């Protein structure tokens, strides 16, 4: 499922990048900043409480649903009213109408967050993943590509994002109907979850700000076309990091929540999270750094060549983004919502300051600065989370040894392929490189998977795949 989602994202991105310009992507990128802020505020961290809280009753779920929907409605109205001011602030005139149209999907997004949390609480990860994939395919393949081909410009993406939200809401309403309850506000239920949810909410808003503040700075200080280049480079490289992060959110976080009272099991789960993330992220990072130019020419096209440097920079930081979420899963699962919020605020401050002072030097400088802020935040968060679980520096290094060694091997093999195939068409170089690295990875998994995943990573791999992974040594 994970691999299928990545491949589909790459294919759809490749098609849309040839139908839409960086300027058009910049308009939609600015619009999504506004929508993401509304989603962070509307939920007030209550979906995290639904997953983490040990004892939760129907009255709590009813209160969470009713409050989320009410706040989302209010925020949607505010987004509609202040659309012109938002457009002026971001220096994107087209944003007036786009913001008003996207305000309509605020309620659907709020419902989706709660429904996903309820399914995660009941460990229905596969169902939730399939629902998200189905909604994404229907909206982006069924709507975005045809509309872009017909010349609807950035409206193709706007319609796709709206359709995805409502399609996903319809699917969740059907598959989660046995767990959903009628919206009903109960003051005592709200008091039960208020303190914890506000901590999660603060963490969520801080996460949003850290994730989008660099986009805001690029839009205001550099330009919309540059925002399109920057956001596409980030999106393309963030796909693996986001999917690895979603794995932590939908699988590792709920499981950690169930063992957080057992220090030994929590420590082991923390190490497994690091092992799995490093085994996936570090080799992927090495491959993308090596083949960044070929990736841009093959997937995005010649008009996106300015994205090569940002892609190399963002590729180098994939593990820091994914590993950061492992640390967040630990603090959230153990109920330390305010500690999570403090770390997110620190990350936000680093990203904002680094991006602001680097903006006069262009998008490449902003990419370097933001990646450096992410690396610094990861180090700080790792220290905090490891102290909570009892993971030592030696434990941390041992877990990362095999994936780091394999990543170096991947980069060396990729560089050799590029030297041997110099002068070949870029897409052929990329295809051969992918085939060689893929074959080497499969052989390593078959012969001795611990060379790639380490001992803890192999345990996670086998438990996740059950009998299907019996061939892994």
Residue ending a domain, choose from 170, 185, 200? 185
Residue 115 and residue 244 in one domain? no
Helix boundaries (H) for 183-262: 187-221, 224-247, 253-259
Residue 61 and residue 154 in one domain? yes
Residue 430 and residue 326 in one domain? yes
Convert the pLDDT of each residue in 218-238 to its tens digit: 888 888 888 888 888 888 787
Residue 199 falls inside a structural domain: no
Residue 268 and residue 133 in one domain? no
Residue 146 and residue 279 in one domain? no
Phi, psi of 437 (to 5 degrees): -65, -40
Residue 348 falls inside a structural domain: yes
Residue 447 and residue 301 in one domain? yes
DSSP readout, 83-106? Answer: HHHHHHHHT-TTHHHHHHHHGGGH
CA–CA distance, 204 with 37 (Å, rounded to integer): 9
- Please give the residue that has the higher pLDDT: either 148 or 204: 148
Convert the pLDDT of each residue in 311-336 to its tens digit: 999 999 889 988 888 887 777 767 66
Residue 39 and residue 139 in one domain? yes
Residue 319 and residue 399 in one domain? yes
Distances (CA, A) of 77 to 72, 82, 107: 9, 9, 11
Residue 293 falls inside a structural domain: yes
Residue 55 and residue 162 in one domain? yes
Instruction: Note whether 35 and 102 are within 8 A (CB).
Output: yes
The boundaries of the domain holding residue 86 are 1-185
Give me 294's structure tokens: 């070929």
Question: Residue for token digits 């629902």?
Answer: 131
Residue 152 and residue 256 in one domain? no
Residue 389 falls inside a structural domain: yes
Q: How confident is the model at residue 395 (pLDDT cuts 50, 70, 90)?
A: confident
Residue 50 falls inside a structural domain: yes
As for how many domains the chain has, the answer is 2
Residue ending a domain, choose from 140, 161, 185? 185
Instruction: Note whether 6 and 239 are within 8 A (CB).
Output: yes
Convert the pLDDT of each residue in 273-312 to its tens digit: 888 888 888 998 999 999 999 989 988 888 888 889 999 9
- Please give the residue that has the higher pLDDT: either 5 or 295: 295
Answer left, alpha or beta for residue 460, where phi above 0 means left and psi between -120 and 50 means alpha.
alpha
Residue 181 and residue 243 in one domain? no
Residue ending a domain, choose from 185, 201, 220? 185
pTM listed for this prediction: 0.74
Residue 197 falls inside a structural domain: no
Tell me: pLDDT of 433 over 70: yes
Tell me: pLDDT of 249 over 60: no
Residue 372 falls inside a structural domain: yes
Residue 1 and residue 135 in one domain? yes
- DSSP helix/strand/coil, 423: coil
Give me 247's structure tokens: 């794995």
Tell me: pLDDT of 260 over 80: no
Instruction: Note whether 229 and 310 are within 8 A (CB).
Output: yes
| Sign for the pseudo-dihedral over CA of 411, 417, 420, 425 | negative
**Which range among 95-109, 147-161, 167-181, 444-458 shows the weakest confidence by mean pLDDT?**
444-458
Residue 130 falls inside a structural domain: yes
**Average pLDDT score over the chain:** 81
Who's near 250: CB < 8 A, 6+ residues apart? 116, 120, 125, 128, 129
């Amino acid at each position: 499922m994970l691999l299928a989602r990545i491949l589909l994202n790459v294919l759809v991105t490749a098609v849309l990048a040839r139908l839409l310009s960086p300027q058009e992507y910049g308009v939609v990128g600015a619009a999504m900043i506004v929508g993401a802020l509304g989603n962070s505020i509307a939920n007030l961290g209550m979906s995290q409480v639904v997953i983490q809280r040990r004892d939760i009753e129907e009255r709590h779920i009813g209160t969470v649903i009713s409050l989320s929907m009410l706040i989302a409605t209010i925020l949607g109205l505010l987004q509609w009213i202040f659309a012109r001011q938002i457009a002026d602030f971001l220096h994107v005139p087209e944003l007036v109408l786009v913001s008003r149209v996207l305000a309509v999907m605020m309620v659907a997004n709020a419902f989706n967050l709660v429904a996903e949390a309820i399914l995660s609480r009941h460990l229905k990860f596969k169902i939730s993943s399939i629902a998200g994939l189905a909604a994404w395919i229907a909206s982006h393949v069924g709507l975005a590509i045809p509309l872009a081909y017909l010349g609807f410009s950035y409206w193709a993406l706007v319609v796709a994002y709206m359709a995805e939200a409502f399609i996903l809401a319809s699917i969740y309403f059907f598959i989660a109907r046995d767990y959903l309850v009628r919206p009903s506000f109960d003051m005592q239920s709200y008091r039960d979850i208020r303190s914890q949810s506000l901590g999660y909410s603060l963490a969520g808003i801080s996460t949003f700000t850290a994730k989008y503040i660099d986009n805001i700075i690029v839009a205001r200080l550099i330009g919309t076309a540059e925002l399109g280049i920057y956001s596409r480079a980030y999106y393309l490289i963030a796909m693996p990091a986001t999917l690895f992060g979603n794995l932590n959110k939908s699988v590792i976080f709920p499981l950690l929540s169930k063992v957080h009272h057992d220090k030994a099991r929590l420590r082991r789960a923390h190490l497994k999270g690091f092992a799995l993330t490093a085994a996936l992220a570090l080799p992927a990072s090495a491959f993308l750094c090596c083949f960044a130019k070929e990736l841009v020419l093959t997937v995005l096209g010649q008009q996106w060549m300015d994205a090569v440097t940002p892609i190399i920079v963002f590729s180098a930081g994939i593990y820091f983004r994914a590993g950061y979420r492992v640390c967040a899963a630990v603090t959230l699962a153990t109920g330390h919502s305010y500690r999570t919020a403090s770390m997110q605020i620190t990350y936000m401050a680093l990203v904002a300051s680094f991006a602001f002072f680097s903006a006069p030097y262009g998008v490449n400088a902003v990419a370097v600065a933001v990646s450096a802020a992410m690396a610094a935040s990861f180090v700080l968060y790792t220290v905090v989370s490891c102290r909570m679980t009892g993971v030592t520096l030696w434990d941390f290094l041992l877990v990362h040894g095999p994936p780091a060694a394999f990543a170096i091997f991947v980069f060396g093999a990729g560089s050799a392929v590029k030297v041997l195939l110099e002068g070949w068409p870029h897409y052929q170089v990329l295809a051969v490189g992918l085939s060689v690295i893929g074959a080497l990875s499969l052989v390593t998994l078959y012969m001795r998977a611990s060379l790639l995943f380490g001992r803890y990573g192999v345990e996670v791999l086998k438990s996740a795949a059950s009998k299907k992974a019996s061939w892994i040594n």
